[in-house]
Structure 1
Amino acid sequence: MAKQDKKAYDLSEAEQRDLVTLLQQGKALPEKYRFILFEDKREVELVWNGKTRDVCMTVLPFQTLEHIDEPRAETKTQGDLFDSRGRQQKGWANKLIWGDNKLILSSLKSGALRRQIEDAGGLKLIYIDPPFDVGADFSMDIEIGGETFHKEPNLLEQIAYRDTWGRGADSFISMIYERLILMRDLLAVDGSIYVHCDWRVNSFIRQVLDEVFGKSCYRNEIRWKRQPPRGAKAIARQYAKSSDTILYYSRGDQYCWNPQFKEYNREYIKSKFVHRDRDGRIYRIDAIGDYSDKSIAEFRERGRIYDYPSGKVGLIRYLDEAKGEAITDIWIDVAEVNSQAIEGTGYATQKPERLLERIINASSNPGDLIADFFCGSGTTAAIAEKLGRKWIATDLGKFGIHTTRKRLIGVQRVLKAASKDFRAFEVLNLGRYERQAYLNVGGRLTSAQKAQALAQKENEFRELILRAYKATGFGGSEGLPAQDGFFHGARNGRLVVIGPINLPVGRLFVEEVITECRKRGASRVDVLAFEFEMGLFPAVLEEARSKGIDLAPKYIPAEVFDKRAVDKGQVVFHDISFVEATPRYEKKNKLAVRIELTDFSVYYTQGTAEAAIAAMKEGKSEVMCEQGQLYKVSKNKDGIITKERLTKQWTDWVDYWAVDFDYMSRREIIKVPVGTGHNGVASLPGLEAQQGEMALPQFEERWTGGYIFENEWQSFRTRQNRDLELTTALHTYDRPGRYTVAVKVIDIFGNDTMTLVPMNVG
């Protein structure tokens, strides 16, 4: 009898009748029958609602937003690794990636960057600190005008949080399970992973890691006792919670391990180093370990072997030779980040540098590649750079990416001042290609069918954008005529047009908008776009105004991809910001110039001020953002409201600015799988390493039509230093000619704006 028949035969007649009835009714079978009817050697398995072993297989090209490198003064000994300016141009550049780490992981695993990862020696270590706190607060406190502004998390972060905890533990486990599978497949065969969590999810994550990596790859469960400043608070009717869990697994049996030690304390020395030789030196006797007979003989010749009466031997270890007390899986010597600490960034979940230093030293070697896919404020990347490791760091939060960028520039500056090596790093994202993936049309279709399907998708996408903008399509309640082929809708008496989905809105498109408005006798129009061509504004707005057109350009936020956010009316379209920068030429040297930041304007409103004021308690104050200004709003005991404007000058909005003195010198080149469409979007099966060789598809290089911002000079505020330079250091060009200078400004909310300044030099 076949095995399956035997299993069925073992069922009682009543059980067999129940099974038949359930199958006829199309109902799910009770869980116990899965183990009776089917072979499954796993003794224990974590099961949750919606569990699937399917993982993301979308492969997108990475868009390079910025290349950051503190120029070296002396590079003659480095061959062709650096250019004439002392900037790294070859070799591995570290990666700081903004976006959804699920898409990032699948694109790293099977995309063109996988080859770079393998050429860099493979990914040797992953540390992650996922958002395990069901009550986590992703808001930030921003200092402004001597006050603190409470910045709420952006909608993308809120959506990600909702995806993570929307169904409680089920959704968290689903999120982390898929990502851990992708991380395992990306990790080198001799790599390791550390997962930081606490009492809320440590039991779940332990089971997930057992399933993904295998129980045999479990190495340690580390208990980290959080020291003051936060410390442990007394809790009624239970023990105070004062520790986190760090789960440590390897990819396989071979992995990097460097034992870690801490300095002996006096009590330990007294208890262990109890012997003293004739010269007065203190020593202890250790087990002989796995030394060879030859080594033991050498130790004996040097008088380092102790003979016990029983015939056993031990190794004499003097105090000044010992490395220290071996680190165990209980870590009580690493304090949390003090609010006044130099390393502090203001992130509530920031982990101390000493914690990451221990992990990185233990499970990697100098030159190894490590990664953190929930990087937050960038502690892992900062310590990796200091310890001479290559790194990849990713985060969904734009503000987190900005904080990490500033932190890593600071690390570069310190290493440069100390004449130590450091690497350039790139800021990447999937933005443009994520939109293209949304519109990608697959399947075996004719050219006509594909064009029709694409047109339908674009129409559906535009309808979604109009709903998010709370605009009405033509023929709706605005009383406007049917669609006339150009404008897409209207809101509050203003026409609405949506720019190209895959391209930046440029001058020609805006001029066409102005022409179409004049044809229809319309005087007010909103232009919605994901990207606007740099240098387009404010000149185009002045041109429109001169022709009687009130034109308002607005950014379409990435949140429009989430239909739940659209349905709830939570999507906010921001007005564009304006940057003004002026070149200051040197009189004595015609090739030398400085760039001065001369103006920056924004228009932000966060929430409804009236509702926030009404909810405010008497005797309290709060900082609010309204119509491009920050105000401190106070309510006294009598309920009287007073408002004090905090942003007294435009520089208060600037957190960071940087300059590329020759913007169009470096084209943005992407690598896409051979045979993919013009947008480079592909969906490929997961590719595993076989016998140490990668079975990757062939890639070809394509110029995107854009350029990479090479960060040559920057000034930014830190928590310790709020000053901001408004004029760059002197820059000298090699030869006279026409140059395009790019100036990038990042405001206190983490949003960036760039403008181009054409110049004639010489």
Structure 2
Amino acid sequence: MRSKTLIEELPKIVAEGRREAERILDQIASGKRLALQTNELVLPAKDVSGLFKDKVPEYKGEEWLNRLIYGDNLLVMQALLAGDEESGLPSMRGKIDLIYIDPPFDSKANYKVKINLPGFEVKKNPAVIEQFAYADTWKDGTVSYLKMLYPRLVLMRELLSEKGSIYVHVDWHVGHYVKIIMDEIFGKDNFRNEIITRRGQTKNLAYQFKEFKRMNVFYDTILWYSKTIDSYFNPPLKEAADYQRVGRWQSMWNNADRPTMRYKLLGVKITTGQWKWSKERAYRAVENYKKFLEISNKTGETLEEYWIRTGKKLEFIRREGNAKPQYWVPPQEKVICDNNWLDIKGYDYSYGFKTQKSEELLKRIILMGSDRGSVVADFFAGSGTTAAVAEKLGRKWIVNDIGKPACMIMRKRMIDIDAKPFLYQSIGDYQKEVFASSKIYKRVGDLAHVVLQLYGAIPFPLENNPSNNLGYVKEGKILVYVDSPNKITGKSTLKRAQVLRETFMGGGWNKVIVLGWNFSFDITSAIQELNDPKLEVLVIPPDLINRLKKQGYDKLAGKVRFSSLQYLSIKPIRIESVSEEEEKLIVELENYVLLSPDNVPLDEKDREKLKEIMNKDPLALIEYWSIDPDYDGEVFRSKWQDYRENTANDSDPYRVITRAELIVPKKNNRKVCVKAVDVFGFESVVIEEVR
């Protein structure tokens, strides 16, 4: 049977995407909402000397806070459309003025992230959530990609203001197909331009010709659509070409044929073709030239000098000898752009992303499509160029990415540019009902069933356990709960597990064990707060699915290790008096324990390297750490931070400093919260009360 072509698949893609978008919008209208969990209120202030004086402006409940959000953008946009009262976010429906996205398209892309550690480099595989998202996007090639994109574009249209525009960065793989679905969603009449931007040259051109029988691809395309005809549009300027930087005379005559534009000008009467200007404008320009001749006879200046001196755009017409009249074009430094943007570079690789876009490119887009105070968004944010440029240009911003490494890079980047305070958030209840990415396991429950058996638990029958994610260990009467790979395990999950321990199948279980894939930033403090010896939390190896695909269940049985969470320890916090009003807090890291390398999504050879550094220099695994010297128990305010690549306080780009001295206002009692994130994205929190 012949497989369908992509053109034949398009109606189905549109119909499915429309249904999914309508389902989401109906769900929001019915009051079912996804919450945004605030990981941090980031008050950008990096350590530069090891002694930090609290000069960070307190956040005083301003109406707007910029947001960096970790998670699947489909879920993030649902939360933005619904609004989030807890974090002070109204519904953003119709309030975003500019959206730029660069959804990557490369089914063979390598999503591993290079991590430089002291003495060697390792490559981190994507987290489980990322693996599923990528697999969903590429499983049927371009068809899956367009299915992924359609409902997201519908939600973006809902978020756009009436003056808003969207800029979608695509390449030759899918640009033409994406335009078709954007015509469908935004309306063909709202298509403004196809913008060409410079891609850069492939290093090995001979390989391109020989292997692919094609020329090097030099440009990408940006598809620009507006919500309405009344969208923001500030015409962008670019450097004038060399010939425009000097004044010149051009012919007043052309080959067009309008009889009304034939008149006598400086003694010349034309019978074919036409003059370029109306008679009134032409005669006025002749008079201007006569005035200029009077000036130049007195001063001796040229037309170019006159233009440079006065900046007046006077229009001139002259005639020399038997030549037809000519008009004067003054020199220009800047001219209005057309849709060819090859004058600026489109890419910049300074943050290690293969498809990282340049600040030049985003500056032109943001200036063109928004005003100061406008809200700018990017839902495939990568290294955070959109946020960085929006910050510098005085725009508000919301950026989002599903990759934890990308979010870590963005957080550091915003601190580097001394950004205003912003929220670092994630989706609180991070779950999809159906897990369709694995070719082996069609439902989340099927995978959970396998995880239970690998742990050594007996799954309950489906009639008692519809989600197929509960099992038990006979010895010790232990209940085992497997969380979804598309969910972030947090405090609410642990509470649910406690309830199940007391109620499931009559209750009376001696212990409940939660097996999770991905964990909220405050999971360690949640465990400490619950202080429940009958509750245990273990990590499912993040590469388990790949190992199942390669080796199968039988070979893995009895060989999978479920490890405890990593943790951070600090030395006792010391306080020294500085003055009547101020005191010094001395906070020092003691140790970082990553209990098992199996927790880390690495290849086996890199896992051996990791073991070395875990034994010799465990604090070298810290990517950044931050301190809230006045933790209120709810929102972590990172008033101080140090991170790798910050060489303002030491010369080592691969390590953070391990001791911080903070001068803060005196208090009788304070709760200090220290948070560390390692190079793999695992987070740990220590809370200490000091008097």
With normalisation by structure 1, the TM-score equals: 0.64
1:585 is aligned, of 575, 583, 590, to: 575
Structure 2 vs 1, CA of residues 253 and 574 (structure 1 numbering), >3 Å: closer, same or farther?
Answer: farther
Preserved CA contact (<8 Å) 2:524 2:567: no
Q: CA deviation at 1:509?
A: 6.3
| Residue in structure 2 matched with residue 122 of structure 1 by the alignment | 95
Structure 2 vs 1, CA of residues 572 and 658 (structure 1 numbering), >3 Å: closer, same or farther?
Answer: farther
| Residue in structure 1 matched with residue 334 of structure 2 by the alignment | 324
Q: CA deviation at 1:281?
A: 4.4
Deviations 1:269-298 (A, max 9, x none): 35857899841342899xxxxxxxxxxxxx
| Aligned 1:192-211 pairs, distance under 5 A | 192-211=165-184
Which residue identity lines up with residue 429 of structure 1 in the other structure?
S
Structure 2 vs 1, CA of residues 115 and 709 (structure 1 numbering), >3 Å: closer, same or farther?
Answer: closer
- 1:429 maps onto 2:413 in alignment: no
Preserved CA contact (<8 Å) 1:471 1:489: no
Which residue identity lines up with residue 282 of structure 1 in the other structure?
E
Structure 2 vs 1, CA of residues 365 and 403 (structure 1 numbering), >3 Å: closer, same or farther?
Answer: same
| Residue in structure 1 matched with residue 680 of structure 2 by the alignment | 749
**Structure 1 residue matching 2:367: 3-state secondary structure:** helix
| Residue in structure 2 matched with residue 25 of structure 1 by the alignment | none
Preserved CA contact (<8 Å) 1:45 1:207: no
| Residue in structure 2 matched with residue 104 of structure 1 by the alignment | 76
| Aligned 1:593-742 pairs, distance under 5 A | 593-605=585-597, 624-626=606-608, 630=610, 648-664=616-632, 707-718=634-645, 721-737=653-669, 739-742=670-673
Preserved CA contact (<8 Å) 2:249 2:326: no
**Structure 1 residue matching 2:676: 3-state secondary structure:** strand
Structure 2 vs 1, CA of residues 284 and 112 (structure 1 numbering), >3 Å: closer, same or farther?
Answer: farther
Structure 2 vs 1, CA of residues 490 and 232 (structure 1 numbering), >3 Å: closer, same or farther?
Answer: farther
| Residue in structure 2 matched with residue 214 of structure 1 by the alignment | 187
* Alpha-carbon distance in 2 for matches of 1:175, 1:367: 31
| Residue in structure 2 matched with residue 146 of structure 1 by the alignment | 119
- 1:248 maps onto 2:248 in alignment: no
**Structure 1 residue matching 2:430: 3-state secondary structure:** helix
Preserved CA contact (<8 Å) 1:494 1:525: no
| Residue in structure 2 matched with residue 280 of structure 1 by the alignment | 302
* Alpha-carbon distance in 2 for matches of 1:317, 1:91: 49
Deviations 1:729-749 (A, max 9, x none): 323234312x22111111011
Structure 2 vs 1, CA of residues 491 and 463 (structure 1 numbering), >3 Å: closer, same or farther?
Answer: farther
**Structure 2 residue matching 1:89: 3-state secondary structure:** coil
Which residue identity lines up with residue 684 of structure 2 in the other structure?
T
Which residue identity lines up with residue 371 of structure 1 in the other structure?
A
* Alpha-carbon distance in 1 for matches of 2:325, 2:563: 75
Structure 2 vs 1, CA of residues 45 and 555 (structure 1 numbering), >3 Å: closer, same or farther?
Answer: closer
Q: CA deviation at 1:363?
A: 1.0
**Structure 2 residue matching 1:729: 3-state secondary structure:** strand
Preserved CA contact (<8 Å) 1:662 1:741: yes
**Structure 2 residue matching 1:730: 3-state secondary structure:** strand
**Structure 2 residue matching 1:385: 3-state secondary structure:** helix
Task: Between the two structures, name the one with larger relative contact order (CA 8 Å, sep ≥ 6).
Answer: 2
* Alpha-carbon distance in 1 for matches of 2:671, 2:172: 54
| Residue in structure 2 matched with residue 10 of structure 1 by the alignment | none
Q: CA deviation at 1:505?
A: 4.2
Structure 2 vs 1, CA of residues 120 and 751 (structure 1 numbering), >3 Å: closer, same or farther?
Answer: same
Structure 2 vs 1, CA of residues 212 and 475 (structure 1 numbering), >3 Å: closer, same or farther?
Answer: closer
In terms of mean alpha carbon deviation, does 232-241 or 346-355 score higher?
232-241
Q: CA deviation at 1:60?
A: 1.0
* Alpha-carbon distance in 1 for matches of 2:83, 2:326: 54
Let me know the Cα RMSD of the aligned residues. Answer: 4.9
| Aligned 1:308-707 pairs, distance under 5 A | 318-319=330-331, 322-335=332-345, 337=347, 339=349, 344-412=350-418, 422-431=419-428, 433-434=429-430, 465=448, 467-469=450-452, 470-474=454-458, 488-490=471-473, 497-498=480-481, 503=492, 505=494, 527-528=514-515, 534-535=524-525, 553-555=537-539, 575-582=564-571, 583-586=573-576, 588=578, 591-605=583-597, 624-626=606-608, 630=610, 648-664=616-632, 707=634
Q: CA deviation at 1:147?
A: 1.8
Preserved CA contact (<8 Å) 1:71 1:87: no
* Alpha-carbon distance in 2 for matches of 1:303, 1:65: 55
Preserved CA contact (<8 Å) 1:88 1:424: no
* Alpha-carbon distance in 1 for matches of 2:348, 2:585: 42
Which residue identity lines up with residue 62 of structure 1 in the other structure?
L
Preserved CA contact (<8 Å) 2:620 2:654: no
2:39 is aligned, of 46, 65, 72, to: 65
Structure 2 vs 1, CA of residues 475 and 265 (structure 1 numbering), >3 Å: closer, same or farther?
Answer: closer
Preserved CA contact (<8 Å) 1:228 1:336: no
**Structure 2 residue matching 1:741: 3-state secondary structure:** strand
Q: CA deviation at 1:361?
A: 1.2
Q: CA deviation at 1:227?
A: 2.9
* Alpha-carbon distance in 2 for matches of 1:229, 1:584: 56
Q: CA deviation at 1:181?
A: 0.7
Query: Which ranges in structure 2 are unaligned for 5 or more consecutive residues?
Result: 28-32, 47-53, 251-288, 435-442, 462-469, 484-488, 503-507, 648-652
* Alpha-carbon distance in 2 for matches of 1:84, 1:730: 12
* Alpha-carbon distance in 2 for matches of 1:494, 1:722: 47
Q: CA deviation at 1:409?
A: 1.2
Preserved CA contact (<8 Å) 1:656 1:746: yes
* Alpha-carbon distance in 2 for matches of 1:602, 1:47: 49
| Residue in structure 2 matched with residue 516 of structure 1 by the alignment | none
Query: Which ranges in structure 1 are unaligned for 5 or more consecutive residues?
Result: 1-29, 32-42, 73-81, 286-298, 413-421, 440-459, 478-486, 514-518, 614-622, 632-643, 666-706
* Alpha-carbon distance in 1 for matches of 2:226, 2:232: 9
